[in-house]
Amino acid sequence: MHDLASIRELLAMRDLKKAEVQIAKLLRSTLSNPDSAQLLTLRARARLLAARAEEALDDLATAEQRTDDPALRLEIRELQGDAWFARYELASVGFAERAHVQRADETYHALITDHPSYPNLGWLHYQQARILLTDGRIQDAITCLTNALLAPSTLPALTAYCFERLGFIYFYEKRDARRALGFLDKALHTYPANEAPIWIARLETLRARVLRELGSTDTALAAIDRAIDIAYQTDETRIALADALLTAGELLSRVDGRERDVISRLQQYLQTARKPLGIDVTWSRAYEMLGNAYFNSGQYAAAGDAYQHALQHNPYHPWELSLQYQMARAWYQCAEYDKAVSAMDTLLKTAHLDNQPITDYRVYDVLGSAHFALKRYQAARQAFDQALALTPSEDDREKIIRYRTFAAELGG
């Protein structure tokens, strides 16, 4: 059927909107159940690619009822496994259910065991490897990827997918950046030219992280720029684009004098990524980096707001005291003295509750300076006394003593 071949080509190129429009038109026509089953299966593929796993499962359930074709029923089972795994991967933090992964794994295992000549066996091994990675079974995952490379597959890009996952494993799990880069380069060279370019965006994002680890900053920045360019043009889900923009912000934050670029990329990330419903460490990290860039470029009010957002998205931030201190400094620099005092009070209360003694004199120096600016001279003097007790640097000691004297004189 020519229409089905055309839809498959659109899916291969990730032109999901056009594919779904064609499928919808054909489904509205008077098609036999077998034809509609194929169309629903293709629409399930499109919805999976668009990160809509629930809708894909609905289509697959209907398609399964409408066909007796053994080959199509096996394809439906494969896609059901993919959809269950996607439900797990796409779930918000705290809502992911391990049962979804188990259901996917059982589906793949049954297909491999019961149908050893299944033409897409390599994909099943590849998916099993990804499931094993979610459970920390690294060596088993490597074995599955090796099996995937040797098994038959209907996916021309599967070899590249396997090399990419091996690169991921050697970078994040085995901490071997050089070997990871070798696998990722193989993935880049084996990815078919006629396949959808969005996957290259994801690959270049990972390559950029590895190159950064190897100290190749310029090459890493070039890789992430390629990822962003590709994703802007081809990423309908915006997931790959958001990841690339965040990585760009991380890379640029390590380069002196690139604060404006950091701010630009992270603002684009926050506009692109889906806003989390609750605690989200990634958004917290993005706001933290944004706060640092604003502060270093003299945009202190924006910095204070960014640090505040960082703590809102992760109230259990491991560096909460440091962020509170940075926030107080930012508020002080833009003459928001009440906010600076409030941030320092929160810092001191948190430190007390966590039994973490304050050893940095600058905390009390900023607190004293904010009180002084608000003409709360007694509170300023007390804060300066605590700063002096923590052995400040010689230059700061002279300044603190001078302002402590002014506070004593003005406060009576």
Tell me yes or no: is domain 340-412 CATH 1.25.40: yes
What is the helix (H) or strand (E) element at residue 37, kind and residue range?
Answer: helix 33-49
Q: What is the mean pLDDT of residues 404-411?
A: 89
Kindly report the average pLDDT of the chain as a whole number: 93
For residue 278, name the pLDDT band (cuts at 50, 70, 90): confident
**Which amino acid is residue 89, in one-letter code?**
E
Hey, what are 50's tokens?
Answer: 């668009």
pLDDT digits 0-9 by tens, 228-262: 999 999 887 899 999 999 999 999 999 999 999 99
Q: Is the pLDDT of residue 404 over 80?
A: yes
pTM score, whole prediction: 0.84
**Among 1.25.40, 1.10.1060, 1.10.287, 1.20.950, what is the CATH number of 1-118?**
1.25.40
Q: Is the pLDDT of residue 38 over 80?
A: yes
Q: Is the pLDDT of residue 35 over 80?
A: yes
Q: How far is CA 59 from CA 70, 141, 170, 358, 410, in A?
A: 18, 30, 37, 59, 76
CB atoms within 10 A of CB 133: 20
pLDDT digits 0-9 by tens, 95-150: 668 899 999 999 999 999 999 999 999 999 999 999 999 999 999 999 999 999 99
For residue 55, name the pLDDT band (cuts at 50, 70, 90): very high
Cβ burial 111-120 (10 Å sphere, 16+ → b, else e): bbeebeebeb
Q: What is the mean pLDDT of residues 176-197?
A: 96
Q: Do domains 1-118 and 340-412 have the same CATH topology?
A: yes
Q: Is the pLDDT of residue 402 over 80?
A: yes
pLDDT digits 0-9 by tens, 308-334: 999 999 988 888 899 999 999 999 999
Domain ranges of the chain: 1-118, 340-412
| Cα 275 from Cα 390, distance rounded (Å) | 42
pLDDT of residue 171: 97
Hey, what are 181's tokens?
Answer: 């880069």
pLDDT of residue 237: 82
